[in-house]
């Protein structure tokens, strides 16, 4: 009769009997009370009230389009604050704060850029969007 040996691994468990030392303050301009170790003005952000923009990008043959750049900014602003790329299925998802309108720019080389406005003011929590990319004119490639 054949018997297989089963390896046994010993994993040491360390037990700390002392409490860890309190954090040390490295700056002299910190408050003397020492009640807060966080940076002044920093807050924990919860995504519970965010607006979700998710969608799919298709090519001119109605097939999923991977690696397409999606850029999002607040309506009326110049700088884009959010950016992502579509996955292998052409899907994307971006969380943005509620209460504003957003402009989306969909860009991929060789195709005409598309823009869309998303309204995140009306109390909804998400919006589903689909884009069908069209080849760019010959002069714009």
CATH code of the domain covering residue 53: 2.60.40.10
Tell me the per-residue pLDDT of 116-128, one tens digit each, with 9 for 90 and over.
999 998 878 899 9
2 phi and psi, to 5 degrees? -95, 130
Structural domain includes residue 65:
yes
Tell me the per-residue pLDDT of 39-73, one tens digit each, with 9 for 90 and over.
666 777 677 778 999 999 999 999 999 999 999 99
Q: What is the pLDDT of residue 123?
A: 76
Structural domain includes residue 37:
no
3-state secondary structure of 17: coil
Structural domain includes residue 22:
no
Structural domain includes residue 20:
no
% residues pLDDT > 70 (the chain): 68
| Structural domain total, the chain | 1
Q: Are 136 and 111 in contact (CB under 8 A)?
A: yes
Structural domain includes residue 27:
no
Q: Are 89 and 76 in contact (CB under 8 A)?
A: no
- pLDDT > 50? residue 89: yes
Structural domain includes residue 131:
yes
**Structural domain of 88:** 48-135
- Average pLDDT of span 94-122: 94
Strand partners, 71: 83, 105
Structural domain includes residue 36:
no
Any idea which of 40-49, 102-111, 132-141 has the lowest mean pLDDT? 40-49
Q: How far apart are the C-alpha atoms of 65 and 68, rounded to whole Å?
A: 7
Here the tokens at position 93 are 């998802």
3-state secondary structure of 100: coil
pLDDT, greater one: 5 or 79: 79
Structural domain includes residue 23:
no
């Amino acid at each position: 009769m054949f018997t297989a040996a089963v390896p046994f691994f010993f994993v040491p468990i360390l037990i700390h009997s002392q409490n860890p030392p309190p954090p040390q303050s490295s700056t002299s301009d910190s408050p003397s009370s020492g009640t807060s170790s966080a940076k002044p003005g920093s807050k924990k952000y919860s995504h519970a009230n965010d607006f979700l923009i998710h969608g799919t990008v298709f090519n001119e043959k109605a097939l999923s389009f991977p690696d397409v750049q999606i850029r999002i900014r607040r309506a009326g602003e110049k700088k884009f604050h959010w950016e992502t790329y579509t996955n292998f299925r052409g899907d994307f998802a971006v969380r943005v704060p509620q209460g504003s309108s957003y402009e989306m720019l969909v860009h991929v080389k060789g195709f005409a850029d598309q823009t869309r406005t998303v309204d995140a003011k009306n109390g909804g929590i998400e919006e589903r969007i689909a884009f069908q990319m069209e080849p760019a004119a010959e002069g714009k490639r």
